[in-house]
Amino acid sequence: MKSDRYFGLFIVVVALAFIASATQIQTSFLADPVGPKTFPFILGMVLAVCGLYVALRPDEEQMRVQSIGKVAFAAAVLVGYAYSLRPGGFLIPTAIASGLISYQISPRVVPALITGLALSVGLFLLFKFALGLGLFAWPRAWFG
């Protein structure tokens, strides 16, 4: 089955969910003639129709994803980075995350290590001193 068929059906489901949650919107006594529900309703309808169209008349091209594992890994690295940036300071999480992403693009250990360290220190100096952003270098726990 063509990938567009799945995509179209997925969009139809999203559209129906959107319409369903639009019915839950509270209306105020101050409501204007259109109210807060109508526009989301119209959007949901258009979305559903377009989704159906794509599902019924899909493009010929099949979606090709060569290495979904790499992308999933990169996304996981970024999620970890997002959580560690606040408690962990700038330098250590940035070095690890950019090193890992560099390794994903070109799998060589030494250049990836150097990239991680250099980007972490270089960007820190740039942001902190040249541009004056308030970043913490080290984990806050280290200094109480």
Partner 1 sequence: METLAFLAQGFAVALTPKILMLAVAGCIIGTVVGALPGLGPTNGVAILIPLSFSFGLNATEALVLMTSVYYGAMYGGRISSILLNIPGDEPALMTTLDGYPMAKAGRAGDALVLSGVASFVGAMLATIGLIILAPVLARIAFLFGPAEYFALYLLAFATLGGMSSKNQAKAAIAACLGLGISMIGLDNSTGLPRFTFGNLHLMDGIDFLVAIVGLFAVTEVFVFIESHGRESAIGIKIAKLRIPVRDIMRSGVTMLRASLIGFVAGVLPGAGASLGSFLAYMGEKAMVRDNSKFGHGDPRGVAAPEAGNNAAAGGALVPMLTLGVPGSGTTAVLLALLVTLNITPGPLLFQERPEVVWGLIAALLIANVVLLILNVPMVRIFVLLLSVPPWVLLPGVTMIAFVGIFSLSGSSFDLLLMIAFGVMGFFLRKLDVPAVPIILGILLGNEMEDSLRRAMVISSGDWRFLFSSGIAIGLWSAAVIGFCAPMFLRRLLKRPQALTD
**Segment 12-71, which members bind partner 1 (CB under 8 A)?**
15, 18, 21-22, 25-28, 30-36, 39-40, 43-44, 46-47, 50-51, 53-54, 57, 59, 61, 63-68, 70-71
d(CA 25, CA 27): 6
- How far, in Å, CA of 139 to CA of 83, rounded? 13
Residues binding partner 1: what is the number (CB under 8 A)? 74
Please tell me the distance from the alpha carbon of residue 107 to that of residue 77, in angstroms, as a whole number: 16
Of residues 70 and 140, the one with the C-beta less far from partner 1: 70
Residue closer to partner 1 (CB basis): 24 or 144: 24
How many C-beta neighbours within 10 Å does residue 45 have? 13
- Between 73 and 143, name the residue whose CB sits nearer to partner 1: 73
CB atoms within 10 A of CB 37: 16
Rule CB under 8 A: say whether 144 interacts with partner 1: no
